[in-house]
Amino acid sequence: MQISDFLRGSPDGIDVKGPRVVCSFDVFGVTINLTETVIISWAIILAVTLLLLWLTSGMKTKNISKRQAVAEWIVQTVYGMVESSMGKRWRNFAPYIGALFTFSILGSLVSMLGLRSVTADFNAPLTWALITFVLIHGTNIRTHGIGGYLKGYVDPIPVMLPINILSEIATPVSMSLRHFGNVVSGMVITSLLYFALSAATKAVGVAFLTIGIPAVLSLYFDLFSGFMQAFVFVMLTMAYISNADGREPEA
């Protein structure tokens, strides 16, 4: 349950608006809104950066510390996941996949601290999906050249051109909506149930319904569901990118 979202709601219901705008400023006549999503995202980036600097400081080749062992395990896990899903020739995508997975899961887990999930803002998963979209088409062009890339839009027959274009556009839209929809639906369900339990508690006069049940739901929607959505997102990312060159996956 996101307490901050519930508290921002009206006395008679739950606020379903987007992230709050902390401040606004103009740049060359364009209004830029600094939302809580942006602030929380930068806080996550700063926290992860400091953690990685701490884990990788003073690294040695012999008699390594537990801190270095954790850092090496994280790197090996990410590279192993990329190689098993995409093949060894795609190892250079491991840093991107690792960053995407980390940002996605931490962006969802911040709700357990009473903050609004980064992934509950459609702009966040849409941005990740658009980056993946660029990588997909960049890989396709690099493999087949401009001519081969453009030819793919008229395969198997030229009349398929509109459908193929629509299919490519649907990729980032479906990826971002899937991630965003699952996170927001969990947030709404938890908020509605908490609101109902609060009303029932006031009617009974004993505060026992709001103890335990919201915590269990938070573990599912924030922890388990957040992890699964991050995992699904990166798996789709790896599948789309590795399939862009048209070559058979490595054994």
User: Are the CB atoms for 180 and 125 separated by under 8 Å?
Assistant: yes
Confidence bin at 45 (pLDDT 50/70/90) = very high
Start-to-end Cα distance in the chain = 44
Percent of the chain with pLDDT over 70: 82
Q: Rounded to 5 degrees, what are φ and ψ at 150?
A: -70, -35
Q: What is the C-alpha separation between 66 and 94, in angstroms, rounded? A: 23
User: Are the CB atoms for 229 and 119 separated by under 8 Å?
Assistant: yes
Per the listing, tokens 């803002």 go with: 121
pLDDT digits (tens, 9 = 90+) for 111-157: 878 788 898 889 899 999 999 999 999 988 988 888 888 888 888 78
In what helix (H) or strand (E) does residue 30 lie, and over which residues does it extend? Answer: strand 30-35
- The predicted pLDDT at position 74 comes to 92
Helices 66-86 and 94-109, packing angle to 10 deg: 110
- The predicted pLDDT at position 102 comes to 93
Distances in Å between the Cα of 7 and the Cα atoms of 33, 79, 93, 201 are 22, 42, 41, 17
Is the pLDDT at 76 greater than 80? The verdict is yes
Confidence bin at 159 (pLDDT 50/70/90) = confident
Confidence bin at 79 (pLDDT 50/70/90) = very high
Other beta carbons within 10 Å of 45: 14
Return the structure tokens found at 16.
């379903």
What is the pLDDT averaged over residues 31-39?
86
What are the domain boundaries of the chain?
3-13+33-243
pLDDT digits (tens, 9 = 90+) for 9-21: 444 444 556 788 8
Closest by CA to 115, choosing from 198, 188, 41, 186, is 41
- The predicted pLDDT at position 135 comes to 93
Closest by CA to 3, choosing from 114, 110, 111, 113, is 114
pLDDT digits (tens, 9 = 90+) for 193-214: 777 777 777 766 666 566 666 6
- The predicted pLDDT at position 236 comes to 92
Residues 6+ apart with CB under 8 A from 236: 175
Residues 6+ apart with CB under 8 A from 67: 54, 55
- The predicted pLDDT at position 101 comes to 93
Q: Mapped to the 3 state alphabet, what secondary structure does 181-222 carry?
A: HHHHHHHHHHHHHHHHHHHHHHHHCCCCCCCCHHHHHHHHHH
- The predicted pLDDT at position 80 comes to 93
Q: Give me the helices (H) in 1-65, please.
A: 3-7, 36-56
- The predicted pLDDT at position 3 comes to 41
Number of H helices, E strands in the chain: 8, 2
